[in-house]
Amino acid sequence: LVAAFSDPLEAESAWARWQSTSGWEQHVDFESYLLLPRVYHNLGGRGVDDALYQRLKGLVRRCWAANAAMRGVLGRVAQLFEADAIDAVVLPPGALLLHDHSAVLAPDTLLALEIDRRHASRTVAVLQSAGWCASVLSVPSWSFPGFIAASSHLKMTNAAGMQLELHWRDSLQTPYRDIVPTKI
């Protein structure tokens, strides 16, 4: 944490301590892995020259590429929703991508959006017209609108394999207790 978020002088010594005691050659726990892009950015320009630090550049590039793809999907979905006057709230952890482009998300992280229940059917129709498919295979097409009305969420997939999880909320005006939603 110190190497990721402290001032660069403290961060450099914290990095050296972590590297010497972590056993990073065998295994890096996921919590530490999540912080590595932040460490790379925090130590940038400090002249740190060791094998692990050089590997971080590749890690940051992979994270950036994955995040850029997710932000691209999110941007296209936002354009569809804006054109149809549908409000959506991006839920964590995907909301991190709006503020921190170097955030590390697990590979199976879904982009989760919260939609006002009144717009659920229209939201699904807008996404389907843009090539998204519902991940529910056992619901006959004649009963799909009823399924949407009765459900609390729906997963959708595009041709590239990206997934969205749509959550219906009775009103987007009711705030969460624990998080601050980010509107797209």
Residue-wise pLDDT tens digits, 104-137: 777 677 889 999 999 999 999 999 999 999 887 7
Higher pLDDT, 133 or 174: 133
Average pLDDT over residues 18-37: 72
Closest listed residue to residue 75, CA positions, set 137, 67, 18 = 67
State the CB neighbour count (10 A cutoff) for residue 88.
25
Q: In a 10 Å sphere around its CB, with 0-12 CB exposed, 13-18 middle and 19+ buried, how is residue 40 labelled?
A: buried
Query: How much is the pTM?
Result: 0.64
> Tokens 């804006």 identify what position?
82
C-alpha to C-alpha distance for 80 and 78, rounded to whole angstroms: 5
Check whether 79 has a pLDDT greater than 70.
Answer: yes
- Total residues found in the chain within this entry: 184
Q: Give counts: helices (H), strands (E), the chain.
A: 7, 6
Q: Are strands 88-90 and 111-116 parallel, antiparallel or unpaired?
A: antiparallel
Average pLDDT over residues 36-40: 77
For residue 177, the model assigns a pLDDT of 41
List the structure tokens of 58.
Answer: 């590749």
Residue-wise pLDDT tens digits, 7-20: 877 888 887 788 77
What phi and psi values does residue 108 have, to the nearest 5 degrees? -95, 15
C-alpha to C-alpha distance for 145 and 149, rounded to whole angstroms: 6
C-alpha to C-alpha distance for 132 and 159, rounded to whole angstroms: 7
